[in-house]
Amino acid sequence: MSYTFKLCWVVGVAAALAAGCAGERSIADPNTPADTSSGPTQPQPQPTPTGGFYASPSGSSAGDGSVTKPWDLTTAFAGGSGRIQAGDTVWMRGGTYRGDFRTALAGTQGRPIVFRQYPGERATIDGTLRADGADIVFWGFEVMRSAPSGMLPGLESRGARQKFINMIVHDAAQQGITFWDEAVDAEVYGNIVYNNGTHGNQDHGIYVHNMTGTKLVMDNVFFDNKSYGVHVYAQHEDAPQRNVHLIGNVSFNNGSISDFRAKSNILVGGLDVPDEGMQVIDNMLYYSGKDGENMRIGYQASNHDVLVRGNTVWGGATALVFGQWQKATVQNNLIGGSADMVSLLNVPGSFTWGGNNYYRDAGAQAWRTQAGSALPLVQWKSTTGLGASDQAPATTPGTTKVFVRPNKYEQGRAMVVVYNWGSQSSVDVNLAGVLRSGQQYEVRNVQDWFGRPVASGTFNGSTISLPMSGVNPPMPIGRSTATPPKTGPNFDTFVVVAK
């Protein structure tokens, strides 16, 4: 197993996190077989907001952090005059907190400090948030910029064991999230990140560096960011990069709001800084057309090892650009919908490559060698020595594929991803492992998160129906850009939330 998770019934937010509800992780050798399910098998109970402290847009530094006398957010991020201690939770009441915030507040290992949106309310930072302290958790609130300008990201992570959970991050001036070296053993989980970036090709959904420990980027949604969705990249003065694990993320149409040629849903690889211990497992990628490199694993630096397994990669000018690795395992990926299936940068003898399904005419010259030659699949196999068990079974899968990934931090929450190859007007989704019979729920399209739910009701214990007509994606705020494409009815991503 690459990742295993356990169910915890613990009262209190920080207590639940400390008890290990975030999951017990066992990191496998990236060049040995792994269980590609890699997702949580059980959802977690949602804690109730009892106890803790409170912050509010109408709060003040003179408050005491109580529900009737809340702090302003600056005071809370400064520690509430020493009152906030390791293991405490600060509930952010609904409303808009304006400003560029920074906190050095830190919990202790096993007893994080938690800042969380109060249930049923919408708390929004209109500005930015930088976190420098270790063992702190940010959960459920929105970070955006109503007038994006300058060079600041939406979220900046620079502390060990930080967690960013189920947040909405959009319309930052630069990256949505920067996840830097100092954030050792940190986690970005379940966030929805879109429309970030106002200038050059440095504007991504998330920009990741890692030298020590393991960074986990899991079950997030990145779409319509200005250049790349996920950018695991380093250059020049940066140290070698290690152990970034991209698991179960959805990344689609990144670069669609710009005219840059440099665009990709996922990039792992640096200019002149080597990578090792990288994992790219069970991610779901989509481009509406044939523009962009959908998934690029390797850039110019000579890297050590990577595992790429169980990903669904659909669309783009090239579905998979791959190379510059000494060792690599590329197995059981579904690749299709693009002009080119694979473009190789190099083929060392220690590649393990097989079990991949390409949805393309096997006779098309859609597989490129390291020399740049475009070949049919059979000839590409014989020329490269790769992919003896790879197949091209059809030009398009015959049936619609639905992925359901239960949220490991909130019971009754799950991400649902639909590749509508069967051209259905609606799809039935089995949520028996997510919702309890009789539980109230609603389902939101991630491209219209603050709009009306696309479905709601009382769960009957089996399936619910979701429409595939699609929605118009959100236009970037405060600047003029290209209009991002509508993904429905061909592809869509939803989040189920228990009420």
Identify whether 4 is part of a domain: no
182 in the same domain as 302: yes
Taking 50 as the pLDDT cut, the residues of the chain under it are: 1-11, 20-47
Q: How far apart are CA 185 and CA 278, in angstroms?
A: 14
Listed in sequence order, the residues at least 6 apart from 98 whose beta carbon sits closer than 8 Å to its beta carbon are 125, 126, 127
Identify whether 25 is part of a domain: no
For residue 395, report the phi and psi dihedrals to the nearest 5 degrees.
-85, -25
Sign of torsion, CA 401 490 176 98?
negative
231 in the same domain as 135: yes
Give pLDDT, residue 48: 55
Give pLDDT, residue 428: 98
pTM of the predicted model, to two decimals? 0.92
pLDDT in tens, 160-217: 999 999 999 999 999 999 999 999 999 999 999 999 998 767 789 999 999 999 999 9
Closest CA to 360 of 309, 404, 320: 320
Q: Taking a C-beta distance cutoff of 8 angstroms, is the pair 290, 311 a contact?
A: no
Using alpha carbons, list the distances in angstroms from residue 256 to 291, 318, 472, 486.
Answer: 9, 15, 14, 11
Give pLDDT, residue 12: 55
Using alpha carbons, list the distances in angstroms from residue 53 to 94, 107, 410.
Answer: 14, 15, 21
- Specify the number of domains making up the chain: 3
Identify whether 26 is part of a domain: no
Identify whether 283 is part of a domain: yes
380 in the same domain as 301: yes
Identify whether 472 is part of a domain: yes
284 in the same domain as 232: yes
| 85 C-beta neighbours (distance < 10 Å), count | 12
Among 330, 360, 394, where does a domain finish?
394
Listed in sequence order, the residues at least 6 apart from 120 whose beta carbon sits closer than 8 Å to its beta carbon are none
Q: How far apart are CA 4 and CA 42, in angstroms?
A: 10
Give pLDDT, residue 11: 39
State which residues form the domain around 375.
125-394
Among 394, 421, 446, where does a domain finish?
394
Identify whether 48 is part of a domain: no
Question: DSSP 3-state helix, strand, coil percentages of the chain (rounded to 5)?
Answer: 5, 40, 55
453 in the same domain as 349: no
Listed in sequence order, the residues at least 6 apart from 46 whose beta carbon sits closer than 8 Å to its beta carbon are 119, 410, 411, 412, 413, 498
Identify whether 266 is part of a domain: yes
Listed in sequence order, the residues at least 6 apart from 270 whose beta carbon sits closer than 8 Å to its beta carbon are 233, 234, 235, 238, 241, 299, 300, 301, 303
Q: How far apart are CA 281 and CA 218, in angstroms?
A: 10
Q: How far apart are CA 256 and CA 226, in angstroms?
A: 7
384 in the same domain as 415: no
